[in-house]
Structure 1
Amino acid sequence: MPASLSSSKTAAALRTSARASGELLLVLVAVSVALWLLGRMWAVVWPLIVGLFLTTLTWPLARFLHRRGWPAALAASVVTVLFLLVVVGIGALIAVPVASQSGELADGVVEGIQRMREWAAGPPLNIGDDQITGALDTAVARVQDSIGSMVTAVVTGVTTVFNGVVTAVLAVFLMFFFLKDGHRFLPWLSRQLPGRLATDVPVVAARGWETLGAFVRSQAFVGLLDAVLIGLGLWILDVPLVLPLAVLTFVSAFVPIVGALFAGLVAVLIALVSNGLTDALIVLAVIVVVQQLEGNVFQPMIQSRGLGLHAAVVLLAVTLGGSLYGIVGSLLAVPAAALIAVVWNYLREQLSDPPREPEADAEPHPGAPVPS
Structure 2
Amino acid sequence: MSPRGSIRRVTTQSARTPARITLTVIGLVLITLLGLFLVYETRRVLTWIVIAAFFATALHPAVTRFERRVTWMRRWLSTLLVFLAVFLVLAGLAALFVAPLIREASHFVDQLPAIIRDTRAGRGPLGGLLNRFHLREYAEQHSEQIRDYLSGLGTPTLAFLRGAATTVAGILTIFVLSYLMVLQAPRLVDGFLSLFEPSRAERIQRVGRECARTITGYLTGNLLISVICGALTYVVLLVMGVPFAGLIALFVAIADLIPLVGATLGAVVATLAAFFQSLTAGIVVIVFFIVYQQLENHLLQPVILSRTVQLDPLTVVVSILIATELAGLLGALLAIPVAAMIQIVVRDVWRERRARRTPPAGAEPPGAESPEPAGPSPAPQVAARPGRAAPRTP
Task: Tell me if TM exceeds 0.5.
Answer: yes
Is the 1:249–1:263 Cα contact (8 Å) retained in structure 2? yes
Partner of 1:308: 310
Deviation string, structure 1 residues 263-319 (Cα, Å, up to 9, x no partner)? 55774576467x535414542564476468757996588645522211221133223
Residue identity matched to 1:315: V
Partner of 1:211: 214
Please state how far the C-alpha of 1:190 moved relative to its aligned partner. Answer: 1.0
Residue identity matched to 2:87: L
Cα distance, 1:165–1:136 mapped onto 2, change above 3 Å = farther
Cα distance, 1:60–1:204 mapped onto 2, change above 3 Å = closer
The one of the two structures with greater contact order (alpha-carbon pairs below 8 A, sep at least 6) is 1
Residue identity matched to 1:178: M
Partner of 2:330: 328
Partner of 1:4: none
Aligned with residue 184 of structure 2, among 175, 181, 186: 181
* 2:360 is equivalent to residue 356 of structure 1: yes
Which residues in structure 2 correspond to 1:62-141 (within 5 Å)? Answer: 62-67=63-68, 68-69=70-71, 70-106=73-109, 110-111=114-115, 113=119, 114-116=123-125, 118-120=127-129, 125=132, 127=134, 132=136, 134-136=138-140, 138=142, 140-141=144-145
Please state how far the C-alpha of 1:187 moved relative to its aligned partner. Answer: 1.6
The 2-side partners of 1:94 and 1:82 are apart by: 19
* 2:342 is equivalent to residue 340 of structure 1: yes
The 2-side partners of 1:190 and 1:330 are apart by: 31
Percent identical: 20
Is the 2:58–2:213 Cα contact (8 Å) retained in structure 1? no
Partner of 2:54: 53
Aligned with residue 220 of structure 1, among 220, 223, 231: 223
- Provide the aligned C-alpha RMSD in A: 4.3
Cα distance, 1:284–1:154 mapped onto 2, change above 3 Å = farther
* 2:154 is equivalent to residue 169 of structure 1: no
Is the 1:55–1:175 Cα contact (8 Å) retained in structure 2? yes
Cα distance, 1:247–1:62 mapped onto 2, change above 3 Å = farther
* 2:166 is equivalent to residue 157 of structure 1: no
The 2-side partners of 1:126 and 1:175 are apart by: 52
Please state how far the C-alpha of 1:89 moved relative to its aligned partner. Answer: 2.6
Classify the secondary structure of the residue corresponding to 1:306: coil
Is the 1:58–1:83 Cα contact (8 Å) retained in structure 2? no
Q: Structure 1 unaligned segments of length 5 or more: list them.
A: 1-28, 364-372
TM-score, with length taken from structure 1: 0.68
Cα distance, 1:278–1:329 mapped onto 2, change above 3 Å = same
Is the 1:239–1:270 Cα contact (8 Å) retained in structure 2? yes
Residue identity matched to 1:326: G
Cα distance, 1:216–1:144 mapped onto 2, change above 3 Å = same
Q: Which moved more, 1:221-230 or 1:33-42?
A: 33-42
TM-score, with length taken from structure 2: 0.65
The 2-side partners of 1:39 and 1:299 are apart by: 36
The 2-side partners of 1:116 and 1:242 are apart by: 16
Residue identity matched to 1:135: A
The 2-side partners of 1:299 and 1:221 are apart by: 10
The 1-side partners of 2:216 and 2:266 are apart by: 25
Is the 1:304–1:310 Cα contact (8 Å) retained in structure 2? no
Is the 2:252–2:270 Cα contact (8 Å) retained in structure 1? no
Residue identity matched to 1:119: G
Cα distance, 1:349–1:35 mapped onto 2, change above 3 Å = farther
Q: Structure 2 unaligned segments of length 5 or more: list them.
A: 1-28, 372-394
How many residue pairs match? The answer is 326
Is the 1:105–1:270 Cα contact (8 Å) retained in structure 2? no
Partner of 1:283: 285
Classify the secondary structure of the residue corresponding to 1:309: coil
Is the 1:296–1:315 Cα contact (8 Å) retained in structure 2? no
Please state how far the C-alpha of 1:107 moved relative to its aligned partner. Answer: 6.0
The 1-side partners of 2:180 and 2:128 are apart by: 59
Highest Rg: 1 or 2? 2
Is the 1:257–1:327 Cα contact (8 Å) retained in structure 2? no
Q: Which moved more, 1:227-236 or 1:167-176?
A: 227-236
Deviation string, structure 1 residues 177-226 (Cα, Å, up to 9, x no partner)? 13322233322211245787645544433332222112213312432442
Deviation string, structure 1 residues 247-271 (Cα, Å, up to 9, x no partner)? 6644553355896578557745764
